[in-house]
Amino acid sequence: MNSRKSPVTRRSVLKALALTGAATAAGPAFWPRAEAAGSLVVGVIYVGPKDDYGYSQAQAQAAAAIRKIPGLTVVEQEKVAETTDVQKVMASMIEQDEATLLFPTSFGYFDPHVLKMAEKYPEIRFAHCGGLWQAGKHPKNVGSYFGYIDECQYLNGVVAAHATKTKKLGFIAAKPIPQVLRNINAFTLGAQSVKPDITTQVIFTGDWLLPVKEAEAANSLIDQGIDVMTMHVDSPKVIVETCERRRIHVCGYHADQSALAPKGYLTGAEWNWITPYTTHVKAAMSGTSMPNILRGGLKEGYVKTSPYGPGASAAARKRADGVKAKMMKGEYVIFKGPLKDNTGRTVIPAGTSHVQTDVVLEQMDYLVAGVIGKV
Amino acid sequence: MDSGLGWLGVPLAVVGGALRVSTPFLFVSLGECLTEKSGRINLGLEGVLVMGAMTGYAVSYYTGSPWLGVLGAGFAGLLLGVLHALICNLPRVNDIAVGIGLMLFGTGLAFFLGKPFVQPSAPLLHAIEFGAWSDSTQIRSALRVNPLFIGGILLALSMHWAFRNTRWGMVVRMVGDSADAARAMGYSVNRVRLMATACGSFFAGVGGAFLSLYYPGSWNEGLSSGQGLMAVALVIFARWRPIACFWAALLFGGAAALGPALQSVGVTGGYYLFNAAPYVLTLAIMIATCSPHRTLAGAPGELSVTK
């Protein structure tokens, strides 16, 4: 079901490998694919369709933006599974399209697929989305870029707290991995910063794209009296539309979904991948070394918030804008002690505060007090 | 918005879920029931379901009428069914293999043609409010029933009646039970099977339209998580009886709603297990109903699985 242009056989890959080895041995002059005269082919690979109102759409918007850079060609492929399929797609982009900078955008592409290809093609740059690259452990031609979107989820929480009447918020999540937990926690802390007794009910659906289960989860939560919803799934379209039909408020995720819920959309947490894409393209064009770790939040322009919808009150906007201004200055800390998880354990002792760049936050394995759910 | 129902919400959500989620199961299983009654298995209904979902959404988007979408989905299914039947009419062709091919073809074609329809929002089917008497928003939402669901019940009843009381129903059953007898009576086995497969695929296509045009009401590639395949198992569970297909579809729909409903009241452990409930149910049914000593009661005699 995955349309591949011309499949790259094991033999051709081996041959290419041998060639690469020979070329590297013979010296760089032998290798014809030097980054010449500022022209660059960039390959972007998506796990879903690039207009899914979600994860892939956010990446595709950045790809569309870098297309405008002179001398740059972008090749794209959608719906590439997190299997050896992605290796074949990467190989064909490198061999046939002569791409030298790849954006394999899905989280699950990294290990082992990107790592394997990075070893085979040491002169190609692989920019992976997610926070997985580690110095000393992973190849130098691989880099990871990621954004502190929990800042926007915190702001979602602030706005949600003003909109809720039942003081019960809902969060539909795919899997309990650190990034998802960080979003759930930030959303809840944001809401509790306005009304401390607010709770967030979480439903884990088990996978990134399960429309029927997501709709069922949304309906179950709404039946339990939840009146503001947000989510962390690949394509929030179904959840946002279900919320609009059931007339509750919703905060978006990944991309701007306000068109799907003109009445109920409050605001949303969006990626702004144009920033890291541009950094990688510039580095590749000028031939400087691969930026291995790119991270940023609102301040660095890696994430942004959706424009406020009609449900966001003036008080909510004022409060959220205030917090946002502090975040833009880098003065706001979301995760600081004393902080307890929902089993009563102290996870951040009093006096400790974790700024966004703190890697401890990328290993989050708890849900804060006020979240109803279990990891 | 009133406050939550707490634990009472679980049975309500399961009932509501059964009403919402079961319709695709119902249509695919009725379609498969009709096809299998004529002595052929069409495993391709999963592909037909996805193709129907895509076509329904696309037609509704272009014409602005969801009911035209339902019709379009049915006809897309019908075409795939005719394809299956025509290939199977050739000598020495295995219907199961063709079905698997059709499943891959249908989903692949739907993904290919459906690309431009992932983003736009098409007009959806409206529901009938059976819960208008209640003040509770939860009950009203649970009892919001789609006309297609009622259509499915009527279809099950009329199939039940037709298999017993009409000439057409008898002919289909005869072809399914003994092709030789049908030939001796002067009926063309292939033609009857062609029509049964085509009608069955029409139903499955309509089931797909329910997915994209009502619940969850959006077209994308993860829309069907194997409902078409599970419905095939469901026909065996229902012993090829249309009315039993209806109850089985309700049971599967309710099982699919169990996981999210339990999590929403705070039963948070083991959600992978509860989410797997429909699949566990399928497996349990297959184990419970199979036996090395007898063929399944009620199975059409010509089915290649029972031969």
pLDDT in tens, A316-367: 999 999 999 999 999 999 999 899 999 999 999 999 999 998 889 988 999 9
Q: Find out whether B53 and B79 touch, Cβ atoms under 8 Å.
A: no
Is the domain of A129 the same as that of A20? yes
Provide the percentage of residues in chain B whose pLDDT is more than 90: 57
**Distance between CA atoms of residues B98 and B11, nearest Å:** 41
Is the domain of A155 the same as that of A141? no
Is the domain of A186 the same as that of A82? no
A310, A329, A348: which is the final residue of a domain?
A: A329
Domain count within chain A = 2
Given a cut of 50, the residues of chain B with pLDDT beneath it are 1-3, 306-307
The answer to the question of residue A276 being in a domain is no
Give how far A219 is from chain B: nearest CA, Å: 8
The answer to the question of residue A69 being in a domain is yes
Q: Find out whether B277 and B154 touch, Cβ atoms under 8 Å.
A: no
Give how far B155 is from chain A: nearest CA, Å: 24
Which domain range does residue A136 map to?
Answer: 10-147
Say if the Cβ atoms of B216 and A206 lie within 8 Å: no
A111, A126, A147: which is the final residue of a domain?
A: A147
Is the domain of A125 the same as that of A194? no
Is the domain of A53 the same as that of A112? yes
At residue A9, does pLDDT exceed 80?
no
User: Which of A224, A227, A234 is the mutation pick for testing B, counting most B CBs within 10 A?
Assistant: A224
Contacts of B264 in chain A (CB under 8 A): 201, 203, 217, 220-221, 223-224
- CA-derived radius of gyration, chain B: 20
Tell me the pLDDT tens digit for each residue of B12-48. Answer: 878 888 888 899 999 999 999 999 999 999 999 999 9
The answer to the question of residue A4 being in a domain is no
Is the domain of A16 the same as that of A103? yes
Contacts of A341 in chain B (CB under 8 A): none
User: Which of B213, B268, B272 is the mutation pick for testing A, counting most A CBs within 10 A?
Assistant: B268
- CA-derived radius of gyration, chain A: 22
For A15-42, what is the mean pLDDT?
Answer: 54
Is the domain of A179 the same as that of A33? no
Is the domain of A183 the same as that of A322? yes
Is the domain of A142 the same as that of A154? no
The answer to the question of residue A245 being in a domain is yes
Say if the Cβ atoms of A223 and B104 lie within 8 Å: no
Contacts of A206 in chain B (CB under 8 A): 271-272, 275
Say if the Cβ atoms of A220 and B260 lie within 8 Å: yes
Contacts of B119 in chain A (CB under 8 A): 51-53
CATH of the domain at A171: 3.40.50.2300
Q: What is the pLDDT of residue A259?
A: 94
Q: How confident is the model at residue A31 (pLDDT cuts 50, 70, 90)?
A: very low
Q: How confident is the model at residue A228 (pLDDT cuts 50, 70, 90)?
A: very high
Is the domain of A158 the same as that of A251? yes
Give how far A243 is from chain B: nearest CA, Å: 12
**Distance between CA atoms of residues A248 and A244, nearest Å:** 6
Tell me the pLDDT tens digit for each residue of B49-100. Answer: 999 999 999 999 999 999 999 999 999 999 999 999 999 999 889 999 999 9
Say if the Cβ atoms of B225 and A52 lie within 8 Å: no
Q: How confident is the model at residue A39 (pLDDT cuts 50, 70, 90)?
A: confident
The answer to the question of residue A358 being in a domain is no
Contacts of B16 in chain A (CB under 8 A): 219, 223
CATH class of domain segment(s) B6-289: mainly alpha
Give the tokens for residue B150.
């009622």
**Distance between CA atoms of residues A168 and A198, nearest Å:** 6
Nearest CA in chain B to A166: B3
Q: What is the pLDDT of residue A206?
A: 86
Is the domain of A65 the same as that of A104? yes
Distances (CA, A) of A57 to A171, A195, B208: 21, 34, 25
Identity at B242, one-letter amino acid code: P
The answer to the question of residue A90 being in a domain is yes
H-type alpha helices, chain A: 10-26, 55-66, 84-95, 115-120, 150-163, 178-192, 211-223, 237-245, 274-286, 314-328
Contacts of A52 in chain B (CB under 8 A): 118-119, 220
Give the tokens for residue B99.
């079905």
**Distance between CA atoms of residues A161 and A167, nearest Å:** 7
Burial of A289 (0-12, 13-18, 19+ CB in 10 A): exposed
Is the domain of A141 the same as that of A154? no
The answer to the question of residue A348 being in a domain is no
The answer to the question of residue A360 being in a domain is no
Per-chain mean pLDDT for chain A? 89
Say if the Cβ atoms of B263 and A202 lie within 8 Å: yes
